[in-house]
Structure 1
C-alpha cells in the first residue's frame, strides 16, 4: 500500500498489480466479495459487542453487591431488603426504646496531641469494645463521628450502664 503513495508515478503499482498482489495478501488468498466482507465485519462487531456487554454486566453486578453491602450496613435488615426489592418501608412502633448517644469528651484535644496511628488505635479499641458489649443484645447501631444505638424493646433490654 505504501508503494501507491510514491511521488514518482513509475514507482507506483498499476491497478492490476494492486488488485492481484495487495488484495490477495489482505484476504490471504481467499476469494471474497463485499457481502462476505460485510458479514465478517458484522460478526466481529457482534462478538465485540457481546464481550463488552458481558464485561459491563460483571461490573454492574460488582457495583450492585457493593451497594447492597453498604445498604445492609447502614439500615436494619428489614428496611434494606424492602428497599432492594422496591417495596415500601412500613414504620415500626415501639412503646419504649432506649437511645444511647456516645461522645468522646475532649476528642479534638486528644487527637491534636496524638500521632495519627494512636488516634486510629484508640478508635479501633473503643469501637471494638462497643461491638463486643452491644453484640450480645438486639441492637441496631448507627455510626458516624458518634455512635447512635437503637435498642429493641422486643427483648425487654434496658441499658442502665454499659460497663
Structure 2
C-alpha cells in the first residue's frame, strides 16, 4: 500500500505486481482484491482492539496508583473532592498534635546494612506505626527530611 503512494510513478508497483502480491497473501487461492482488503482490515481492526484493550488496562493500573498516592498524601475527604474537581475549603482544628520522629543510629545502621535490609527495616517500622494510628481517629502526613552526610 505504501509503495502505491510513492510520489514518483516509476516507484509505484504495476497492477500485475499488485495482483501477484495479493496471490502470495492468499497463498494461491482465487479470491478478489476486495475480499483480501476486507480480511486485512478485519485483522488490523482486531489487532487495534487488542492494543486498545492493553492500553486501557495499563491506564487503569496507573489510575489506581495515582489514586492510592493521592489518598496516602491527603485526607480521604480532600482526595475525593479533588477527584470530583471540587474546590477544597481550608479547615481549622482546635486540637492538633505534631509528632516528629528520628531513628537513632540510622546512619550507622544504613552504612552497615544492604540497601534491601534498610528498605525492609523502614517498611516494617512504618507499617507498624500505620497500624497503631489506624486504630485512632487521626490523619497522618508523612514529611521526610533528608540530611546530606559529609
Bin the TM-score by the shorter chain.
0.5 to 0.7
- 1:49 alignment counterpart: 48
Q: Deviations over 1:6-40 (max 9, x none)?
A: xxxxxxxxxxxxx89x9767535643222222212
Q: Distance in 2 between matches of 1:40 and 1:118?
A: 56
More strand by share: 1
Unaligned runs of 5+ in 1: 1-18, 147-163
TM-score by length of 1: 0.60
- 1:93 alignment counterpart: 92
Superposition CA RMSD, Å: 3.2
Q: How many residues align?
A: 127
TM-score by length of 2: 0.64
- 1:62 alignment counterpart: 61
Structure 1 pair 90/122, CA: closer, same or farther in 2 (3 Å)? Answer: same
Does structure 1 retain, via aligned residues, the 8 Å contact 2:71–2:79?
Answer: yes
Residues 77-92 of structure 1: pairs in structure 2 closer than 5 A: 77-92=76-91
Report the structure number with the largest CA radius of gyration: 1
User: Does residue 115 of structure 1 match 2:105?
Assistant: no
Structure 1 pair 23/80, CA: closer, same or farther in 2 (3 Å)? Answer: closer
Structure 1 pair 39/108, CA: closer, same or farther in 2 (3 Å)? Answer: same
Q: Which runs of 4+ in 1 moved over 4 A?
A: 22-26, 117-122
CA shift, 1:44, in A, is 1.4
Higher RCO by CA contacts (8 Å cutoff, separation 6 or greater): 1
Unaligned runs of 5+ in 2: 1-18, 146-150
CA shift, 1:108, in A, is 2.2
